[in-house]
Structure 1
């Protein structure tokens, strides 16, 4: 996911047997959004287990999810996905902005965990 798109997001085994219980459950729950029915504190806890970039990406799931990532209680920031494989200077700046935006836009009253991983050497 490119830096601009991520910034925009931040702001705003099958079976043929008819008696198979997994298949029957899928048919009975098809189209249901059971995750969105969970209390905000549970959704926040689940998103807090993800790397912060992945938690932010959940915002595209629906209009109701646009701000769920802001309630996370753990920030896991890792430059490996945002820097390597692209123009390092530009993406390093993107990662820096991502860190600042994550810290500014997270509205949780406290952070339980914070991790920052920077791989390799960067000119700062």
Structure 2
């Protein structure tokens, strides 16, 4: 982006809940029941997976995208380069900038809020 002027990106009509790739070269978003990504500048919009009512995403340095395909549902993970997400039993999640740690929140049966820091690639829980 060599301009300070805002202009629409082709193929992003109806886009909601946008988020950036760590390198700032891609924009992730939800449209027409799908999780999509678009290169900044020129290039085609790519569909990654189903997200009937997508509600936010976080794109980590390890090229994983965490996203909510529907409100009040579990968080899913998809690689930015290929489809087929893996479901996680968590409710919200943010990848930290190093791509090796994610912060997750979940509720247990008593509706208590639990906060976890998950270290990658071991999956070690740093605190709850």
Give your verdict on TM over 0.5: no
User: Which protein is bigger by CA-based radius of gyration?
Assistant: 1
- Larger proportion of helix: 1
TM-score (norm 2): 0.23
Q: Which has the higher contact order (CA 8 A, sep 6+)?
A: 1
